[in-house]
Structure 1
Amino acid sequence: MTSSPTPPPPSTGASDSRRPLRRLKARRRDEPHRVATPLELFFDLCFVVAVAQAGVQLVHSLAEGHAGEGVLNYAFVFFAIWWAWMNFTWFASAYDNDDALYRVVTLVQIAGVLVLAAGVSEAFTDHNYVVLWLGYVIMRLAMVAQWLRAAKDAEGAQRATALRYAGGILVCQVGWTVLVVVPDPARLWLYVLMAVAEMCVPAFAERARVTTWHPHHIAERYGLFTIIVLGETIAAATIAVKSGVGENHELGLLVPISAGGLLIVFSAWWIYFAVPIHGHLRSSKHAFLWGYGHYLIFSSAAAIGAGLEVAVEHAVGKAHISDLAAAAAVTLPTALFLLTVWALHSRHYKAGIAQQLVLPSTALLVICCTFLGSWAVLAAGIVSALSVVVAETLTAHRAVPAGR
């Protein structure tokens, strides 16, 4: 009697072959056990360095009373970070073969985001975008190299899609280069134009053929990045509280902010992961809208951390802004996070008007907390936590059959 052959181990997100170089072919969308690779996790961790730098500059702008300019600069810088991350994430979901060349090009992209992070402060303070642009060039040219390699190993419509992506990225990069040299008054409008152009590239490229991104893998990648950003929010708030305690400020001023901040972040995590969103990503139309909407989720989650730092600085007398402005630095990004998660995630899985109204109502109440002065952050945290309790109670009640 012959023994049965040993079944191959399940895929872990990287191909099982260990050859140094191989063809960069599209992966199957229905591939089982598709999970994030160690390289992708490392990629995310390095990108959060740039997110943290943008948050630091946002704190400085808000604490100095330049909220409008600070938020605008933050939105611009965060778009560059988020878009480069998103391009790699969707490409990797369809084409990651984890060979040596793929890894090297990805590490080049990581180097680019670190250069970009080094230029964030100059972009905020002096409107000098040269270093920011250089980091973006490195990331984007590496992305073009990935697409050209995919095109080389593809045929027909699949090859056309890869070439369209590579060409679209190169054309947009020319526009970003122009942005560096034009006068300040024209930059705002050119930036908006270029951002729209960038977001049109996937729609243009995938008219030839849709890439084989993996719904479960994409949902996991976005979820992991959300966790990392929320972790950075906690780290930023912790450093701010530690600074306040170290300078012998009254602990009673900081406890409500710390407790409220923790409740907000814990609630944000719970609310984001309350539903298995991968089942909603059935088509490119649904998935792209969901993916684009995460610009607001990621940026607002990171801004919560910046707002908590501002609230601490205001409490200890470092930020000379009003109570209302300090509270709004936390409550407004929290409300934006709640509304965006509801729009992209929760509403697709809620049944009945009561369940649908939980997050929008919570967002409204969090905004109302802005007017509670030094207790605003704690109140916003309590409201956020109560929304989790209410949502879980409604879900449990609906799951119990009538008469039991």
Structure 2
Amino acid sequence: MTTSTARFRSWYRPMRGRRPDEPHRTATPLELFFDLCFVVAVAQASNSLHHDLAENHLGHALVSYLTVFFAIWWAWMNFTWFASAYDTDDDVYRVTTLVQIAGALILAAGVPRAFTDADFTTITYGYVVMRLGTIVNWLRAAAANPDRRDTAIAYAVGVGVVQLGWLLRLALPDGWGMPAFLVLALADVLVPVVAEQRGKTGWHPHHIAERYQLFTLIVLGEAILSISVAIQGGVDAGNPELWGLAAAGMVIVFALWWLYFDRPGQLPPSRLRGSLFWGYGHYLIFAAIAAVGAGLAVAVDHDLHAAHVSGRTAGYTVAVPVAVFLVALWALHLRWKRGLGLVLFPIASVLALVTPWLPAPVPALAALLFILVAVTLVLRHRQATDVPG
């Protein structure tokens, strides 16, 4: 091999599919850097949700948060699954990934205006920049993989058409914005469904599971930040009640971490329908965890008399996302359990929605999650020590 050939191969390699059974496949430094930049977008969404909820703009908060978080989650998810199948780590791939990171930062910068003014212009531009990088990568994959060329071209064409739709949406009258968003979001999530019918992409199950675990840690970090704010508020205001709230919030976040990572070996199903359900269903888990952080911040504002909501409403800002998390986690990871394990999480989600009616909603929710973790530990221990007779 000549020196010029070696240099060319380090700059550009054919984007051939990686083996789905490749040993020791872990997240790369580039993927971790990509995730780090998404911290900004998640923080912007959580912070904007917190302020909307504290001002009692509940309907606006819910719609704005779910739409903004969709853009964040969908952009992250598409990069993650593509990288699992085709990451070549050559210079061209690194450049296209950095372009996508730039799009993520543009998207994050547009989050506040999307909440306050329903202006999705900046978010749309950032989202389209990210997806242009995705189109380039799919075209590279089509050129280097004849056996999966139809799949890659379907992705490239589908993504490109939908991005044109997002840009045209900006020219629509204000009243058409939300219906157009729903249509385009549905079109976006259908692109993988249609493309994968032409041939399954060879993603790595252990790598995907690790990437989802890492993003779970990112959104948990937003909740940890809210606890830190609660402690700071207790120190600054001399309010001892905030110390108890901070302790309860810490138990809630620790419990969410424990419940999600109780079975770290959970892998996405290999069949298309199961993998899509698993991958798409995590939208609820990610959005719910980040919303828990916003809810804890609202609870702090309420105790400081800085929020325009009742104590019960403040309790629901934490209880509702916790209930969504429990149901989503059960649907994705725990439906196969039998006996008490089958109904434990749905029952806990219902009880979580009752806690705002109690005198101390957040501590009551923390106690409920503590009990849930304890019961799951007992059940797991019994399952491990149960020897068939």
TM-score, length-scaled by structure 1: 0.91
Match of residue 160 from structure 1: 150
Amino acid at match of 2:228: T
Between the aligned partners of 1:403 and 1:72, the Cα distance in structure 2 is 51
Counterparts of 2:10 and 2:167, CA distance in 1: 38
- Residue 302 of structure 1: which of 272, 290, 298 is its match? 290
The answer on 1:113 being equivalent to 2:98 is no
Matches within 5 A, 1:8-157: 19-156=10-147
Deviations 1:186-231 (A, max 9, x none): 2111111111111110011111111000111111110111011101
Deviations 1:170-197 (A, max 9, x none): 1111111122222222211111111111
Please say if 1:372 is aligned against 2:358: yes
The residue type equivalent to 2:222 in the other structure is: E
Structure 1 segments of 4 or more deviating over 3 A?
276-280, 401-404
Q: Which amino acid aligns with 1:363?
A: S
Q: Which moved further from structure 2: 128-137 or 62-71?
A: 128-137
CA contact (8 A) 1:112 1:135 kept: yes
Partner of 1:32: helix, strand, or coil?
coil
Listed one character per residue, the Cα deviations across residues 4-33 of structure 1 (whole Å, up to 9, x for unaligned) are xxxxxxxxxxxxx98232111101111111
Report how far residue 78 of structure 1 moved: 0.3
1:345-384 aligned at under 5 Å gives the runs 345-348=333-336, 350=337, 352-373=338-359, 375-384=360-369
Matches of 2:268 and 2:187, distance apart in 1: 26
What does 1:225-374 align with in structure 2 at a 5 Å threshold?
Answer: 225-246=215-236, 248-251=237-240, 253-348=241-336, 350=337, 352-373=338-359
Matched-pair contact (CA < 8 Å) for 1:256–1:377? no
Aligned equivalents of 2:134, 2:200: Cα separation in 1? 18
- Alignment match of 1:200 (pick from 179, 190, 194): 190
Root-mean-square deviation (Å): 1.7
- From the superposition, tell whether residues 243 and 276 of structure 1 become closer, same or farther in structure 2 (CA, over 3 Å): closer
CA distance in 2, matches of 1:241, 1:326: 18
Distance 1:279 1:250, change over 3 A: closer
Give, in angstroms, the shift of residue 277 of structure 1: 4.9
Q: Which runs of 5+ in 1 are unaligned?
A: 1-16
Q: Are the equivalent residues in 1 in contact too, given 2:230–2:245 (CA < 8 A)?
A: no
| Percent of pairs with identical residues | 48
**In 2, distance between residues paired with 1:208 and 1:402?**
45
Residue 392 (structure 1) aligns with: 377
Deviations 1:70-89 (A, max 9, x none): 11000000000100000000
- 1:244 positional shift: 4.6
Give the count of matched residue pairs.
382
Residue identity opposite 1:205 in structure 2: A
C-alpha distance in structure 2 between counterparts of 1:179 and 1:249, whole Å: 49
Unaligned 5+ runs, structure 2: 1-7
